[in-house]
Amino acid sequence: MFSTTGNIVYVGLGSNLDNPVHQVEQALRTLETLPATELKTHSTLYRSTPLGQQNQPDYINAVAVLHTELRPLALLDELQVIENQQGRVRKVRWGPRTLDLDMLLYDQKQLQSPRLTLPHLGLYERAFVLYPLYECAPDLVLPNGQRVCDLIRSSEGLCWREVHHLK
Ligand code: ROI
Protein backbone atom coordinates (compact mmCIF):
# COMPACT_ATOMS: atom_id res chain seq x y z
CA MET A 1 0.00 0.00 0.00
CA PHE A 2 1.16 3.55 -0.73
CA SER A 3 2.30 5.19 2.46
CA THR A 4 2.53 8.93 2.95
CA THR A 5 2.59 11.40 5.78
CA GLY A 6 1.34 14.07 3.32
CA ASN A 7 -1.45 16.57 3.70
CA ILE A 8 -4.42 15.67 5.88
CA VAL A 9 -7.72 15.98 4.08
CA TYR A 10 -11.23 15.44 5.40
CA VAL A 11 -13.83 14.43 2.82
CA GLY A 12 -17.57 14.47 3.45
CA LEU A 13 -19.62 11.75 1.78
CA GLY A 14 -23.35 12.00 1.18
CA SER A 15 -25.92 10.04 -0.79
CA ASN A 16 -29.70 9.70 -0.87
CA LEU A 17 -30.34 7.82 -4.13
CA ASP A 18 -29.77 4.30 -5.52
CA ASN A 19 -29.02 2.45 -2.26
CA PRO A 20 -27.19 5.21 -0.38
CA VAL A 21 -25.42 2.87 2.06
CA HIS A 22 -23.95 1.00 -0.87
CA GLN A 23 -22.99 4.27 -2.58
CA VAL A 24 -21.08 5.51 0.45
CA GLU A 25 -19.40 2.16 1.11
CA GLN A 26 -18.40 1.88 -2.55
CA ALA A 27 -16.96 5.40 -2.50
CA LEU A 28 -14.92 4.58 0.62
CA ARG A 29 -13.48 1.55 -1.16
CA THR A 30 -12.57 3.68 -4.17
CA LEU A 31 -10.94 6.34 -1.99
CA GLU A 32 -8.54 3.60 -0.89
CA THR A 33 -7.28 3.29 -4.46
CA LEU A 34 -6.50 6.94 -5.19
CA PRO A 35 -2.95 7.68 -6.38
CA ALA A 36 -0.45 9.13 -3.88
CA THR A 37 -3.16 8.96 -1.25
CA GLU A 38 -3.89 6.84 1.78
CA LEU A 39 -7.30 6.42 3.38
CA LYS A 40 -6.38 6.68 7.07
CA THR A 41 -9.80 6.18 8.62
CA HIS A 42 -13.45 6.96 8.19
CA SER A 43 -16.43 7.57 10.43
CA THR A 44 -19.35 5.24 10.82
CA LEU A 45 -22.36 5.93 8.62
CA TYR A 46 -25.02 8.42 9.73
CA ARG A 47 -28.58 8.83 8.59
CA SER A 48 -29.73 12.45 8.34
CA THR A 49 -32.86 14.26 7.28
CA PRO A 50 -32.34 16.39 4.17
CA LEU A 51 -31.11 19.91 4.32
CA GLY A 52 -32.68 21.84 1.47
CA GLN A 53 -35.56 20.47 -0.53
CA GLN A 54 -37.65 18.48 1.98
CA ASN A 55 -39.46 16.05 -0.33
CA GLN A 56 -36.43 13.86 -0.88
CA PRO A 57 -35.18 10.73 0.91
CA ASP A 58 -32.98 10.83 4.03
CA TYR A 59 -29.26 10.96 3.41
CA ILE A 60 -26.46 8.64 4.44
CA ASN A 61 -23.43 10.68 5.48
CA ALA A 62 -19.88 9.89 6.56
CA VAL A 63 -16.45 11.50 6.69
CA ALA A 64 -13.18 10.03 5.40
CA VAL A 65 -9.68 11.06 6.43
CA LEU A 66 -7.04 10.99 3.71
CA HIS A 67 -3.32 11.58 3.71
CA THR A 68 -2.38 12.73 0.25
CA GLU A 69 0.46 14.10 -1.82
CA LEU A 70 -2.02 15.43 -4.39
CA ARG A 71 -2.56 19.18 -4.54
CA PRO A 72 -6.12 20.34 -3.75
CA LEU A 73 -7.34 20.68 -7.34
CA ALA A 74 -5.76 17.38 -8.38
CA LEU A 75 -7.54 15.70 -5.49
CA LEU A 76 -10.77 17.47 -6.43
CA ASP A 77 -10.43 16.01 -9.93
CA GLU A 78 -10.11 12.53 -8.43
CA LEU A 79 -13.16 13.04 -6.20
CA GLN A 80 -15.22 14.18 -9.17
CA VAL A 81 -14.16 11.12 -11.15
CA ILE A 82 -15.55 8.93 -8.34
CA GLU A 83 -18.78 10.93 -8.25
CA ASN A 84 -19.17 10.49 -11.99
CA GLN A 85 -18.25 6.78 -11.90
CA GLN A 86 -21.05 6.24 -9.43
CA GLY A 87 -23.48 7.83 -11.82
CA ARG A 88 -23.93 11.03 -9.94
CA VAL A 89 -27.26 12.61 -10.76
CA ARG A 90 -27.83 16.17 -9.65
CA LYS A 91 -30.65 17.73 -11.54
CA VAL A 92 -31.87 20.03 -8.80
CA ARG A 93 -29.84 22.38 -6.59
CA TRP A 94 -30.34 21.26 -2.97
CA GLY A 95 -32.10 18.19 -4.38
CA PRO A 96 -31.30 14.45 -4.24
CA ARG A 97 -27.99 13.02 -5.41
CA THR A 98 -26.35 9.63 -5.87
CA LEU A 99 -23.04 10.71 -4.39
CA ASP A 100 -21.47 13.88 -3.10
CA LEU A 101 -17.80 13.96 -2.17
CA ASP A 102 -17.03 17.31 -0.56
CA MET A 103 -13.50 18.32 0.33
CA LEU A 104 -14.12 19.76 3.79
CA LEU A 105 -10.59 20.57 4.88
CA TYR A 106 -7.15 20.36 3.33
CA ASP A 107 -4.71 20.78 6.20
CA GLN A 108 -5.28 24.29 7.52
CA LYS A 109 -5.48 25.72 4.00
CA GLN A 110 -7.89 28.57 3.26
CA LEU A 111 -8.75 28.91 -0.41
CA GLN A 112 -11.41 30.59 -2.50
CA SER A 113 -11.34 29.64 -6.14
CA PRO A 114 -14.11 29.10 -8.68
CA ARG A 115 -13.91 25.32 -8.26
CA LEU A 116 -13.05 24.95 -4.61
CA THR A 117 -13.56 26.75 -1.32
CA LEU A 118 -11.58 25.60 1.71
CA PRO A 119 -12.71 24.99 4.35
CA HIS A 120 -15.99 23.86 2.77
CA LEU A 121 -18.66 26.50 3.38
CA GLY A 122 -21.18 24.03 4.83
CA LEU A 123 -18.74 22.72 7.40
CA TYR A 124 -19.58 25.10 10.23
CA GLU A 125 -23.30 24.51 10.61
CA ARG A 126 -24.12 21.14 9.07
CA ALA A 127 -24.67 18.55 11.79
CA PHE A 128 -24.41 15.75 9.22
CA VAL A 129 -20.83 16.91 8.55
CA LEU A 130 -19.81 17.90 12.09
CA TYR A 131 -20.82 14.64 13.81
CA PRO A 132 -18.85 12.26 11.60
CA LEU A 133 -15.97 14.75 11.50
CA TYR A 134 -15.91 14.82 15.29
CA GLU A 135 -15.92 11.02 15.34
CA CYS A 136 -12.76 11.00 13.19
CA ALA A 137 -10.97 13.90 14.88
CA PRO A 138 -12.40 14.92 18.28
CA ASP A 139 -9.63 17.46 18.91
CA LEU A 140 -9.77 19.10 15.49
CA VAL A 141 -9.36 22.88 15.36
CA LEU A 142 -10.46 24.66 12.18
CA PRO A 143 -8.38 27.30 10.39
CA ASN A 144 -10.46 30.06 12.01
CA GLY A 145 -9.58 28.74 15.46
CA GLN A 146 -12.97 27.15 16.15
CA ARG A 147 -13.03 23.67 17.63
CA VAL A 148 -15.28 21.07 16.03
CA CYS A 149 -16.52 20.00 19.46
CA ASP A 150 -17.63 23.58 20.22
CA LEU A 151 -19.46 23.82 16.89
CA ILE A 152 -21.28 20.60 17.71
CA ARG A 153 -22.23 21.91 21.12
CA SER A 154 -23.64 25.13 19.70
CA SER A 155 -25.51 23.32 16.90
CA GLU A 156 -26.98 20.78 19.29
CA GLY A 157 -30.40 22.22 20.09
CA LEU A 158 -31.00 22.79 16.41
CA CYS A 159 -29.92 19.66 14.62
CA TRP A 160 -28.78 16.78 16.76
CA ARG A 161 -31.99 14.80 16.36
CA GLU A 162 -31.57 14.92 12.61
CA VAL A 163 -28.48 12.74 12.64
CA HIS A 164 -28.46 9.10 13.67
CA HIS A 165 -25.77 6.49 13.73
CA LEU A 166 -26.59 3.76 11.26
CA LYS A 167 -24.14 1.20 12.60
N1 ROI B 1 -28.73 16.96 3.43
C2 ROI B 1 -28.20 15.99 4.19
N3 ROI B 1 -28.82 15.60 5.30
N4 ROI B 1 -27.01 15.39 3.85
C5 ROI B 1 -26.35 15.73 2.73
O6 ROI B 1 -25.28 15.16 2.44
C7 ROI B 1 -26.87 16.76 1.92
N8 ROI B 1 -26.24 17.19 0.79
C9 ROI B 1 -26.69 18.18 0.07
C10 ROI B 1 -27.94 18.93 0.42
C11 ROI B 1 -28.90 18.92 -0.78
C12 ROI B 1 -27.56 20.35 0.77
N13 ROI B 1 -28.62 18.35 1.55
C14 ROI B 1 -28.09 17.36 2.32
O15 ROI B 1 -26.02 18.56 -1.00
The answer as to whether 74 is a domain residue is yes
Please report the pLDDT score of residue 91 as a whole number: 65
The answer as to whether 75 is a domain residue is yes
Please report the pLDDT score of residue 160 as a whole number: 46
Q: How far apart are the CA of 36 and the centre of ligand 1, in A?
A: 29
* Separation between Cα atoms, residue 68 and residue 3, nearest integer Å: 9
Task: Name the residue at shortest CA distance from atom 5 of ligand 1.
Answer: 14
Task: Name the residue at shortest CA distance from atom 6 of ligand 1.
Answer: 14
Q: Which residues are catalytic?
A: 88, 97, 100, 102
The answer as to whether 143 is a domain residue is yes
Q: How far apart are the CA of 51 and the centre of ligand 1, in A?
A: 5
Pocket test for ligand 1, best of 16, 103, 130 (most atoms within 8 A of CB): 16
Please report the pLDDT score of residue 75 as a whole number: 98
* Separation between Cα atoms, residue 42 and residue 5, nearest integer Å: 17
* Contact residues of ligand 1, CB 6 A cut-off: 14, 48-52, 59, 61, 94, 100, 128
Please report the pLDDT score of residue 163 as a whole number: 66
The answer as to whether 1 is a domain residue is no
Q: How far apart are the CA of 2 and the centre of ligand 1, in A?
A: 32
The answer as to whether 25 is a domain residue is yes
pLDDT by residue, tens only, the chain of 167 residues:
455 568 999 999 999 999 999 999 999 999 999 999 999 999 999 999 998 888 999 999 999 999 999 999 999 999 999 999 998 766 678 888 899 999 999 999 999 999 999 999 989 989 999 999 999 999 999 999 999 999 988 775 544 445 677 76
The answer as to whether 2 is a domain residue is no
Number of domains within the chain: 1
pTM, two decimals, is 0.93
Bond from prior residue into 35 cis (ω within 30 degrees of 0): no
Q: How far apart are the CA of 125 and the centre of ligand 1, in A?
A: 12
**What CATH code is carried by the domain that includes residue 30?**
3.30.70.560
Rounded to the nearest angstrom, the gap between the alpha carbon of residue 54 and the centroid of all alpha carbons in its chain is: 21
Pocket test for ligand 1, best of 13, 91, 100, 133 (most atoms within 8 A of CB): 100
Q: What residue numbers bound the domain in which 55 lies?
A: 7-165
Please report the pLDDT score of residue 72 as a whole number: 98
Angle between helices 20-31 and 72-85 (to 10 degrees): 140
Task: Name the residue at shortest CA distance from atom 9 of ligand 1.
Answer: 94
The answer as to whether 63 is a domain residue is yes
SS3 119: coil
